[in-house]
Amino acid sequence: MDIKFQGESLFPGQFGQFLIILSFGTALLSCISYFFATRHKEDTSWHKIARISFFINIASVIGIGSSLFYIIYSHLFEYHYAWSHSSRTLPVYYIISSFWEGQEGSFWLWMFWQSLLALIVLFRSKSWENPVMTIIMLCQACLASMLLGIEVFGERVGSSPFILLRQALEAPIFSNPNYLSMIADGNGLNPLLQNYWMVIHPPTLFLGFASMIVPFAYGIAGLWERKYKEWLKPALPWSLFAVMVLGAGIIMGSFWAYEALNFGGFWAWDPVENASIIPWFTLIAAVHVIIAFKNSGHSYFTATFLVLISFVLVIYASFLTRSGVLGETSVHSFTDLGMYWQLVAFNVVFLILMVYFLVTRWKELPITKKDEDTYSREFWLFIGALILVIACVQIIATTSIPVFNAIFKTKVAPPVDAIAHYNKWQAAFAILVLTLSAIGQFLKYKKTTPKVFYANLLISFIVSVLLTAILVYITKVYTNFIYILLSLAAIFSLVANARVLGDAFKGKWKLAGSSVAHIGFALLLIGALVAAATNKVVSLNASGSIPIAGFEDAEKPGENLFLYINEPIEMDGYTITYVGDSVANPNVYYKINYERKDKETGKIVERFQLTPNAQQNPKMGLIGTPSTRHYITKDIYTIVTSAPKLDEPTEQHDHGHEGHDANEGFEEPSTQMVNIGDTLRYKSGYIVVKGVNRNATLQNMPLANGDLLFALQLEVHAASGEVFEADPKYLIKNGNSFDFAKDINEQGLRLRFTKIVPDKGVELMIYQKALPEKKWVVMKAIEFPYINFFWCGTIIMTVGFLLSIFRRNKELKGKIA
């Protein structure tokens, strides 16, 4: 007997599912119609059908997104997607983020951007519309199939965002017709994604992915129609647009990593990061080779291949991040939704399409028999592109180790230290690419005489060496040879391109785009280099101890500070004070005041407050989000690494049973066997065993022959920096033993020397008073010098791409000869 469930709102999901099927059908129909319109140009009926189908497809895609957002925004937790990725406590901007947290939402985002770009292509491409739109709508149909969530011959195709919770999960609760009344809230958004960058980073990244289809479609259309050279001109502005947007998306991801993650960096060579940067590199290489071909006629096949493989690599990146193959090697990848083979098919379809046209048109492709002049810019553009491709091969090979293991049943382990592994290889490639981007600026498009070339090269190189020496002196990184070489290459590129930019101010504005982009890239690398090489932890803890059970398993105690509320601590020239917190569920914002005083006058010269926040996630533990103080020359980055839960007392340590008699008021003691030189930790600092005094004395207690009195010499180092001396004593008299404790009242300590064990050491008992309950927090602070070079470089690079797009669009319209 079927259960009649109460309170479910089924229409939004049913309507959304209908639109998914409609979007798939119209994308497929549009693709087929455009195909026949290309084959039969005289028959305009196919073109009309293709356009009508396309417009219906756009409407259905928008409808899918509207239905899904309505479900999430209205907290309709009868739907699995809304329950899995959102909650009632999320503000609207995080509800937007939850829209694309899951695979289904991100596939829709890709479809949405692709449909808008296709609309632009439709109205701008003119004679290219039919073949180009054939390829774009083929991709649109593949993406729509990922959302179908239907069974075909017993196999599920896609995963629908409109599946009901009771259909996705099996649980006794669903035997109750009124199960919705027992679901108070959804799972909520991943705490790491609750950041404003995650509202704009995924849409930008997926716009970049979607835009990669357009140059690919032009490339296939050019081969298909045998218009081998003509397709390059309209494809170049689209390629620049894709490079700009995808690059901006990647950089936004690094902003997010810097501001939201707790590893204190902006790039970690995570497999998902690698998957996005690989097609970006190959399309950058493609742009440079296209420009070289347009001016020299050389390297047509390379230009075409790079344009086509860039989009194939986008699909491969999607496979890596969505198939579950990276589940054990990446914290960013999606989980497998049972679409492994569907994603493989997506890759195979476009790979076969690329290979088919390259092979069948191979003998017809333009070939220049004349050798390239090594003193031409085009030759070095090609070499630079080749190096970028080789760099990509290294990244792909390492990132794809889990794929190779899955296919060939091998057990190759990924690098233990991924960052060091990639840095080792990519540093060399970066040096070469930066150097070539500098050399290329000294070469005119057709020919440059060796005399002029070497004169310009030598002057710029000398200037670069001097600037590098200044940079190394300021950053004080003298021993890292790779750092020095990379810095020199980046500054050399900056100086050379700045010279070209100077010519732009004299009226040669068409040269500005590439030089500005190269300057931005050089600044970006300089900022990344300096920040990575010179960043330092400034929250150093002299005691090396944090009184939290298990803290050392997750963090280095010596790099963290334990702060009681309203108790100032000195840190790297600052006086920092935890002054309180505020709660905005599920986050707690911790208010930490920073003050810096003039060393001579003691006057406060700077005061500011940072508010890092954290939340106690039941699955992931404490998730901290840093707060950063930005200066022109550095950032002070502060993150909470431990804090009490909101629903538990704020005492930092579990109280033991209180002692009795003389030891009443103290917790249960810690008993340890120690030797000279040992260091022991207590709540507020550490104790150093300095020695044993065999000639100790006791006031008002004379020693008889045979009596032995020893004093254990201890130094007590408080977290505040104070040092106390203590000498608890141990007496053997008339065959009996006695001990005389030493109290350090300022630290709530009692120390007893209770036993001597030959060949093992002496026994020390440490009593600590139960401290009054206070609010506390543990924080870590990192200084990133000159990080603004990185951020400024990204903005300048993006501006450079925009200038290049404007230039190429003018060329496309015939306004530039």
Write the pLDDT tens digit of every residue in 135-169. 999 999 999 999 999 888 778 899 999 999 999 99
Number of domains making up the chain: 5
Under 8 Å CB-to-CB from 683, ≥6 apart: which residues? 547, 652, 653, 748, 768, 771
β-sheet bridge partners, residue 150: 157
Residues 720 and 738 in one domain: yes
* Residue 198 included in any domain: no
Q: CB of 223 within 8 A of CB of 131?
A: no
| Chain length of the chain | 817
Residues 615 and 579 in one domain: yes
Q: Which pLDDT tens digit goes with each residue over 182-238?
A: 998 998 888 878 877 888 999 999 999 999 999 999 999 999 999 999 999 999 999
β-sheet bridge partners, residue 156: 151
Under 8 Å CB-to-CB from 338, ≥6 apart: which residues? 156, 159
Of the chain, the percentage scoring pLDDT greater than 90 comes to 51
* Nearest C-alpha neighbor of 135 from the set 216, 54, 246, 208: 216
Q: Where are the alpha helices (DSSP H) in 649-783?
A: none
Under 8 Å CB-to-CB from 600, ≥6 apart: which residues? none
CA 21 vs CA 488, 599, 785: distances in Å: 56, 71, 53
Residue 320: pLDDT band with limits 50, 70, 90: confident
Residues 98 and 57 in one domain: yes
Residues 126 and 76 in one domain: yes
Q: Rounded to an integer, what distance in angstroms lies between the CA atom of residue 127 and that of residue 338?
A: 41
pTM: 0.81
In this prediction, residues 704-717 reach a mean pLDDT of: 89
Residues 387 and 397 in one domain: yes
* Nearest C-alpha neighbor of 342 from the set 104, 156, 120: 156
* Residue 196 included in any domain: no
In this prediction, residues 627-647 reach a mean pLDDT of: 87
Place of tokens 């120390």: 751
In this prediction, residues 714-742 reach a mean pLDDT of: 88
Residues 514 and 457 in one domain: yes
Q: Rounded to an integer, what distance in angstroms lies between the CA atom of residue 715 and that of residue 733?
A: 27
Domain boundary among 128, 159, 189: 189
Ramachandran angles phi, psi of 719, nearest 5°: -60, -25
Residues 298 and 411 in one domain: yes
* Residue 437 included in any domain: yes
Residues 237 and 381 in one domain: yes
Pairing of strands 761-768, 155-157: unpaired
> Can you give the pLDDT at residue 622?
84
Q: Rounded to an integer, what distance in angstroms lies between the CA atom of residue 699 and that of residue 693?
A: 16
Q: Interior CA angle at 528 toward 559 and 204, to 5°?
A: 110
* Residue 87 included in any domain: yes
Domain boundary among 144, 160, 189: 189
Under 8 Å CB-to-CB from 135, ≥6 apart: which residues? 213, 216, 217, 220, 221, 353
> Can you give the pLDDT at residue 351?
97
> Can you give the pLDDT at residue 526?
92
Torsion, Cα of 371, 377, 382, 388 (10° steps) = 160
Residues 581 and 677 in one domain: no
* Residue 543 included in any domain: no
In this structure, how many other beta carbons lie within 10 angstroms of the beta carbon of residue 136? 25
Q: Which pLDDT tens digit goes with each residue over 62-99?
A: 999 999 999 999 999 999 999 999 999 888 888 988 99
* Residue 541 included in any domain: no
Residue 263: pLDDT band with limits 50, 70, 90: low
> Can you give the pLDDT at residue 261?
64
Least confident of 55-64, 497-506, 545-554: 497-506
Expressed in percent and rounded to 5, the helix, strand and coil fractions of the chain are 55, 20, 30
> Can you give the pLDDT at residue 779?
94
* Residue 309 included in any domain: yes
* Residue 48 included in any domain: yes
Residues 243 and 329 in one domain: yes
* Mean residue pLDDT across the chain: 87
Torsion, Cα of 381, 384, 389, 393 (10° steps) = 170
* Nearest C-alpha neighbor of 567 from the set 408, 735, 774, 371: 774
Residues 607 and 751 in one domain: no
Of the chain, the percentage scoring pLDDT greater than 70 comes to 92
Q: Where are the alpha helices (DSSP H) in 409-480?
A: 418-439, 450-475
Q: Which pLDDT tens digit goes with each residue over 8-53?
A: 999 999 999 999 999 999 999 999 999 999 999 888 999 999 999 9
The DSSP code for 100 is: T
* Nearest C-alpha neighbor of 636 from the set 663, 609, 604: 609
Q: Is 780 helix (H, G, I), strand (E, B) or coil?
A: strand
Residues 71 and 173 in one domain: yes
Residue-number span of the structural domain to which 130 is assigned: 1-189
The DSSP code for 559 is: G
